[in-house]
Amino acid sequence: AQSVSQHNHHVILSEAASLELGCNYSYGGTVNLFWYVQYPGQHLQLLLKYFSGDPLVKGIKGFEAEFIKSKFSFNLRKPSVQWSDTAEYFCAVQPGRRALTFGSGTRLQVQP
Amino acid sequence: DSGVTQTPKHLITATGQRVTLRCSPRSGDLSVYWYQQSLDQGLQFLIQYYNGEERAKGNILERFSAQQFPDLHSELNLSSLELGDSALYFCASSVAGAGRTDTQYFGPGTRLTVL
């Protein structure tokens, strides 16, 4: 069965700092990769997704992620975070058109 | 707003009781997924329906069941509730059409509290 690891459980940054959240997965076949964000008290929103093609994908709100197949990684980045980015971030893996397997999430706290 | 709706938003009930959570997918989406989010287990897939038929099962307890109706809305039934069933229950929908690509859009969730 596939699994997803998010090694950073809680990250605290100051505004304008750069962000990188790690995501590694284990699955032998072809997968779709996603990052979702959950703002306090809200539902999961799609940040970005990778299906195929250019391994560097851009999402909403200035986020991007890079798929490195050899490392089974799909790290999320943002050059300059804002206070409004405070949220929980989930990496997810999807083999084919099946259900998502989520990582445990990373809580990001951005201090003004 | 993802276009996926869930009712009720909050539900408080007692142990041993039975509840029904409802989900309406985005217009045009045929597939509905149910997930459970709890502090100790994280976000876990429960079950998927596609065009009225069960397609995949995840970590769903036997006390839980679901169905998808002809109008494509789905209901998740939780029975003999235990304290540990307290969680946020999300529904997601997708087109799940031909091809490998498929994006799931999540509803606002139902927060279930079992006392």
Type of residue found at B67: Q
What pLDDT does B51 receive?
Answer: 92
What DSSP element (H or E) covers B46?
strand B42-50
Is the torsion defined by CA of A17, A38, B35, B15 positive or negative?
positive
What pLDDT does A28 receive?
Answer: 77
Residue of A43, A98, A107 to mutate when probing chain B, most B C-beta within 10 A: A43
Q: What is the mean pLDDT of residues A52-79?
A: 95
pLDDT, tens only, B32-44: 999 999 988 889 9
What pLDDT does B102 receive?
Answer: 77
Band of the pLDDT at B45, cuts 50, 70, 90?
very high
- Residues on chain B touching A94 (C-beta within 8 angstroms): 102, 104
Interface of A with B in 7-66 (CB under 8 A): 30, 32, 34, 36, 42-46, 49, 51
The residues near B88 (Cβ < 8 Å, ≥ 6 apart) are B36, B37, B38, B109, B110, B111, B112
Among B111, B69, B73, B70, CA closest to B90:
B111
**∠ CA(A67), CA(B94), CA(B31), 5° rounding?**
130
Give the range among A5-9, A73-77, B69-73, B87-91 with minimum mean pLDDT: A5-9
